[in-house]
Structure 1
């Protein structure tokens, strides 16, 4: 079942039509990927007629269709074959496992690329609709680009990040897996991801380092865009830092993630003890949805607060001395750092946490190479209020100028529209 719904009466001739093919929805905006899709659509609609193409459970088609009315001009919502029945789920789950064993890819690659957005599905869509460009969120469905490109429709990939880096981090946690097998699986994944890049006419990187990496592996004819994760620093994330009586620090990020769980644990077990030596009353707040029992157990110390999901997280974060981020791994983009810096909350982080993000050190973000150094920087913010205020103002100033919606997603859509105009001109000449 495929449901097509138009929300705008705007004529196609008014603006070029951009199709956004995505298994990630622009709501409820709890995750970084949902935030990115939301802001991408918001910026795109200023320059394009936006058609959002997605696949969801058959039970969710109507509700998703209704919610998409605020985010696009037309939606094409397909009921995923994966969820048609219990038998269908079992059959596809088994096939996804075999696919994963054979290719080294994840099961999600199979579900998205071989079931939900397979080339036949795209061919059906293209037989009834006309697009000027197609934007893919993630590369999982790269095989379907051939259908669009055969019709002269350019395909653009928003990478979100280089996925083999996060896959490597995932496998590192599998203690049962031999090191040789881990290396082989990562090599398989790298090969598949690099091959997928070659199937797109343009690629969007969110991280400066990852932009340089992609440039090494794609043809010179591939257009590369740099579009970091922006935030509404002029609106909901505007400066609002508040004074405090009890020194409070926070780790901020979804706690369903193994990586974030490790960071949160380091904050409690390795960074805060240094702070507690001089400020025993200081608190650490672990702010994020879906904390597992291992994280909730840290709350046995009354100075450790585990919140779970919070609706009005800005009001809480605004009271913090700083947000701690002892991240490991030079990949991706920590959009949560941009949000808290927008509020004027200083960030104390490892160098990896902001690698490739174009954040100037000491301008709202302080870097420490070890947990000991991070603790010392955190204590300095308590001991020197004037220094803390300076860092607070510079935090907001830096992200206001670099990471507003206009300077990130807005600039990207302006560049995309210009590239498409130039491309059409060259093809017509």
Structure 2
């Protein structure tokens, strides 16, 4: 693997493949819309209930569909033309968003309709994501996969930066119906980006029996501890260190500023991810991917605990200016919280670059769709477990979930590194899962 001297983002995948470029651009545009709607739904539920637990249930209820889409959907990605699967899945996600927007315009939205159509949207998004990631190794050379991961990390960072900020602005100024409608318009990017791709039929001998394919997937994970650990470490980080369900409450009773603060906080970690990707030129040349994942997740846990300390000091009256209100923002508390979220976003981005590269590089093509389905299931399901963790602990105090969860992440990753040393020693120059 060639080590680059520049510290800046490696854009060679764009030059190497116009198909990768079109897919990346389409994912960026539609991702902004998806993120916008996800934040808007959380704010919508909070407005209807004034309950952080109710907000967290948006993710929890979507957990079962995520598991279904990851397991069953991954077999579909390996069994059929991956481009066609991605297009049909994008259509499903668009229809579910259209239903949310229609109900909002008619004034017929309920908590349960928001829960249901958000879960349906998750199914479509999971299948699209698994299809895209499974196609990337067919579009560019293996040497460029870490660079592609950094580009995707920057894309995701921009998505989570622009989407929540736009959501906070639109909800505050125009209401929920207009916010969801903007997502429908942006979603056209998904169809344009995917339509530009060539057909990608399955390899000969693809497994066509669903349950046999699923059993084969888990058998492969059991035999390859490096792949298994790439999933486990992310579940630990996202299950214990995902504070997104707290943001509406932080804007209402802690930092202050209401919906605009909630959207800005949701975007802050993504800003860290974008900055990390922009300066990832040398990072993508690291060969010891497992070690990079472990260290970055430990750093993520420390920044998460730091966010909990900030909220604890604000709620305890030990921060200058005290707790804010929806109309009154505490600017110094906001700045401190954003620094912690910047750090969380940057460290999570490093972890994501190498976890996904491991899956794309070490996993055979005929099972890659299923592994990406499980990966997306983990990436989306872990935060939903985190939503439940936050919702339950926040019943006692809003500072408890990030502080307790962050410290737990640090301890658990240290234990896992000792239990599975092969993951910590993983070398990209010899990409195997054993």
**TM score, norm. by length of structure 2:** 0.27
Higher strand share: 1
**TM score, norm. by length of structure 1:** 0.28
